Structure 1
Amino acid sequence: MPNTRLPEFGLVLPEQFVEIPLSGDEDTRSEIIYEMVRDTFGPDEGESDRFLHTLAFWVGVTEAVDEQGAHLAALMPVPRQDGQGFDTITLVMTLVETTLVTPDVAIEGLLALLRSRLPHADVRPIDLPCGPAAAAVELGAYQFPPELHPDGIAVEMPQGRFQVHIPLPGQAWTAIFEMTTTALDDWDDCCVLMAAIMRTVGFGELEYDEQGVELVPEPPTKTDIGSALTKS
């Protein structure tokens, strides 16, 4: 019988990230994205064409993420180094049911899968506090489909991608984390950020101290995130 209960998971996101609800509540999701775009542009922007275009863009993106079955989504605006507008970091996590195998077999299979799907990526095994994982990093372009673009046009967007596939220890599940961003001027910092977040990921039962207080990993610090991503 297939396993229908999702495994427990947790991670710590830096405060600059805005977590997007994926419960199908479109009104709440739109309100959260509205506030994120408003905070990013500032009160002097008003509801300009640029503001409304950006709002529609990210509402469309998050709706597509929800429809694809993601279990976590978060956005982080990144001011551009030239001061003209901002880019966005998107973090998505999806749990995929798999066959229960040993960690070594799982990692070998994941590495082969990533090398096949992402032939131009830097694919390698990595060790995380939660266990072994497979990672793929690449710079390229994303073909944004017209049905998701506010103007109904196809757009090619330069993009960096950082995927981490984690086979859950002792469970027939794999967690797939994917960070994508157009902030290519800050790509090195984005990679440091993703690595810091991945070190906070945990699965299974929560841990408590002797007083019964839940043990929560320290969130990534500003040093972890990188100065380019923590500008005021």
Structure 2
Amino acid sequence: MTTPTRTVPPAPSDDGSDIPPLWFTVPDGLFALPMAPTPEERGALAHAFVRELYSRGDESLWTPAAPYYAAVAEYMADEGVSYSAVGLFSTVGNGVAQCALTVAAVRTDQTDPDIAAHGTLAVLSTDPLNDARWLDLPCGPAVSCVTLREFTLRPEVTSTGEEAKLLTGQIQVHVPFPTGPYTAILTLYTASTEYWGEFCDMIAAILQTVSFAEPED
């Protein structure tokens, strides 16, 4: 995993949303999708995004890829996602560990973060497949939920032509806003579970930087 970081400001919006702002810091290696309020801005950001993501490519790859990622960003924005990134990290032997990180805000009935967090923990704990836990973050209370799933891949989609198993992991953290009736949901998803420990460390470091007030630095 790389160590340089950058702070992510609140996503722009033109829909009159009253969602309070949220800041957090992510490591280099996370490539943010072109989230923007207008098609023109998404298009421009998409062209920059594909050049950064596929830095060894050329126009034959970038030109068709940019509209695809612009459309993905539009879809995710419509679903309430304010930040989405693809994570690509070098591993030993010139391999690559991949993940996806999204951040969204959902309206809740509570403006008290403690009450909202206790309610979230109670709901998530009803599923025996969830590992739901209480967290005390610098920004306030939160609830984490870890789930692991194993999927069977059909022979026609594997490199060996034989049926294979794919283990995936998801870490989802619910952080109630102290500034309004919303809960931020940070979700990290990966099929590179051989690096599960590193991804757990990464999301833990990101959570330590979550802030509902603009950072001074």
Question: What's the TM-score once normalised by structure 1's chain length?
Answer: 0.67
Shift of residue 200, structure 1, vs aligned partner: 0.3
Q: Distance in 1 between matches of 2:132 and 2:60?
A: 43
Number of the residue aligned with 2:85:
74
Bigger proportion of residues as strand: 2
* Residue from 121, 124, 131 that aligns with 1:122: 131
Once the two structures are superposed, the pairs formed by residues 41-80 of structure 1 within 5 Å of their partners are: 42=56, 62-80=73-91
Paired position in structure 2 for 1:11: 24
2:99 paired residue number: 89
Identity %: 25
Stretches of structure 1 that go unaligned for 5 or more consecutive residues are 144-155, 207-213, 217-232
Listed one character per residue, the Cα deviations across residues 50-74 of structure 1 (whole Å, up to 9, x for unaligned) are: x999989866754542331201112
Aligned residues: 187
Pairing 1:1-232 to 2, within 5 Å after superposition: 4-23=17-36, 24-25=38-39, 26-39=42-55, 42=56, 62-84=73-95, 86-116=96-126, 119-141=128-150, 158-203=167-212, 205-206=213-214, 215-216=216-217
TM-score (norm 2): 0.71
Whole-Å Cα distance in 2 between the matches of residues 15 and 113 of structure 1? Answer: 34
The answer to whether the 8 A contact 1:80-1:183 is kept is: no
Distance between the aligned counterparts of 2:20 and 2:144, measured in 1? 21
By how many angstroms is 1:129 displaced? Answer: 0.2
Aligned residues: CA RMSD: 3.3
Offset at 1:100?
2.3
Q: Deviations for 1:104-142, whole angstroms, at most 9, x for unmatched residues? A: 3212211122234x5412110001000000001122257
- Residue 201 of structure 1 aligns to a residue whose secondary structure is coil
Cα deviation digits, residues 171-215 of structure 1 (max 9, x gap): 211111111122211110000000000110001x43xxxxxxx61
Contact 1:163 / 1:178 at 8 angstroms: preserved in 2? Answer: yes
